Amino acid sequence: MKKVIIIDDEAAGRKLIREYLADYPDFIILGEANNGVDAVKLCNEFLPDLIFLDVKMPGLNGFEVLPLLNELPRVIFSTAYDAYALEAFEVHAVDYLLKPYTLDRFRKSMVRLNFDGKANSAAPLAESLLASGAQYPERILVNKGRKLVTLPVANIIWVEADGDYSRLHTTTDSLLSNYGISVVEEKLDPGVFMRVHRSSIINLQRVSEARRYGKSYDVTMESGHVVRVSRGYMDKLKNITF
């Protein structure tokens, strides 16, 4: 059995895929999402073998969803917009179904899946995402109470270690990440975010000033927070000092 998740903001689009999949008893639909945020949550929970993915959706678009998945499934895009076809194949999608499409056209997509092949389609998809810079997403999902909220990475002012977790200080809020600070560091663009202490990462675009403190510096962020640069990380700061 192959696990399937349908992601489309239009109910009619999801219904059509359900009807067409009825001819494929080996494929079981585990869930549906009508926006990018719920899509990420569902995919990371159920780890589907195949997703039908719309492009334009609330929260996150289809291309923003993919880098946030813990495991990359086979992807068939299903959308009313033909302008994204080239981009879809650049991320090694199995197919690009342009709405409205027929049952015959749908069947051709299913033939292309080739689950019996040795090659793992997730690998080239991941490589393409990394090569395009998508390893550093512009938006991330962060826990806020009992729900996940989208957060533009550019709104993170600095990151603070909080036990085994990390606290993201943003322009409007303070959110707790499930990851430790070293893992968060790996997920952020090193051209923008700099580790300045074992307990701190700063957004260089959000720095107001830096003042010498003994043999180190205190960095004042635009939020007013002051972050100490430890001696072990001084070389990083010197490398961007002119």
User: Which domains are seen in the chain, by residue range?
Assistant: 2-131 (3.40.50.2300), 152-239 (2.40.50.1020)
> Edge to edge, what strands does the sheet with 2-7 contain?
27-33, 2-7, 50-53, 74-79, 95-98
- Residue 83's closest CA among 96, 67, 101, 102? 96
Q: DSSP code of 230?
A: P
The rounded distance, in Å, linking the Cα atoms of 194 and 219 is: 12
The runs of H, that is alpha helices, within 82-220 are 85-90, 103-111, 122-131, 181-187
Per-residue pLDDT reduced to its tens digit, 149-191: 778 899 999 999 999 899 999 999 999 988 899 989 988 889 8
Residue 138 CB coordination number (10 Å)? 13
Per-residue pLDDT reduced to its tens digit, 84-113: 776 776 667 888 898 889 999 999 999 988
Please check the confidence at residue 69 and state whether its pLDDT lies above 50. Answer: yes
pLDDT value, residue 91 = 67
Per-residue pLDDT reduced to its tens digit, 121-160: 444 444 444 444 445 777 777 877 767 777 889 999 999 9
